[in-house]
Amino acid sequence: MAKVFQFVDKPVALQWDDICNGDNIKAELENHLAQWWPKLFGYHLLKLGPLSAQINTLKCQINHHFSLSEDEQCSIQASPRHLPLQTHSIDAVLMTSLLEFESDPYQVLREVDRVVVSGGYIMLAGFNPISPMFLGKLLPKYQNQIPWSGHFFMPSRVKDWLGLLGYQIHGDERLVYHHLLSEYPSSIAWHSKLEKWLPSAGSVYLIVARKMDSPYTPIKDKHKIKSPNWTTAPTATRARIKVKKRPI
């Protein structure tokens, strides 16, 4: 039986300023995304969610960039669970801190998958629960603040969802090695040490996945040797030989 999510929609950050150290997170994310933009080609780049809308994508080779969220400041105002877009019409989708605040995150991914063309990309950034940032989940002072008020998902779980939808993971990065409970100066030495010793412990993950054609189509073995079609040979009959008796 499919798992039914019991999460409820949480207030979504409409600006990076709504998140503690949001500007620093945005700057690091843009720096990591910069290496991917020259690799993307096509006609339409969808920036899904209010935070994605504010990411600088000028270096992306895709012609048309537009944003979509329930925020009226985006290009299209709509729910990410029901995209008013044609099937197989988008070449790449950027999603930033969106699944954490949705009641049914897998439905959002299914809807995104519907509009992405074969060979298209999903670039998904979120908050990593296995990181120093999880401290905010344990402290009552921060539990109702964004982003700790959201539901954090393991990056491995997000990759499993993408795999079920037929995507191949091309990138899985971590950034922002800090708890984000205070100012995030990049000069603190233990940040670089944590990145060196525990590279998977960054507070923000960035997953880049590409949609494949038919990931689960069974491949027939063209060189399979057919078993011989043996048939039962007819039973041989012996002819009756007449022997003439010689006279005595």
Considering 115-129, 176-190, 204-218, the range whose residues carry the highest mean pLDDT is 115-129
Asked whether residue 86 is assigned to any structural domain, the reply reads: yes
CB under 8 A, 24+ apart: contacts of 15-21? 15/50, 15/51, 15/54, 16/51, 16/54, 18/146, 19/97, 19/146, 19/147, 19/180, 20/145, 20/180, 20/181, 21/176, 21/178, 21/180, 21/183, 21/184
Q: What is the pLDDT confidence band of residue 20, given thresholds at 50, 70 and 90?
A: confident
Residues 212-241, mean pLDDT to the nearest whole number: 54
147-206 residue pLDDT tens: 999 999 999 999 999 999 999 999 999 999 988 888 776 556 666 666 677 778 899 999
Q: What is the pTM of this model?
A: 0.79
Asked whether residue 236 is assigned to any structural domain, the reply reads: no
CB of 37 closer than 8 Å to CB of 126: no
Evaluate if residue 26 carries a pLDDT over 70: yes
Q: What is the pLDDT confidence band of residue 4, given thresholds at 50, 70 and 90?
A: very low
Which of the residue ranges 85-99, 112-126, 130-144 would you say has the lowest mean pLDDT?
A: 130-144
CB of 179 closer than 8 Å to CB of 135: yes
- Which residue segment(s) compose the domain that 133 sits in? 16-211
Asked whether residue 199 is assigned to any structural domain, the reply reads: yes
User: Residue 136 belongs to a domain with what CATH number?
Assistant: 3.40.50.150
Q: What is the pLDDT of residue 198?
A: 73
Q: Average pLDDT over the chain, rounded to whole?
A: 84
Q: What is the pLDDT of residue 9?
A: 56
Asked whether residue 223 is assigned to any structural domain, the reply reads: no
Asked whether residue 231 is assigned to any structural domain, the reply reads: no
Residues 222-229, mean pLDDT to the nearest whole number: 53
Asked whether residue 222 is assigned to any structural domain, the reply reads: no
Domain count, the chain: 1
141-156 residue pLDDT tens: 999 999 999 999 999 9
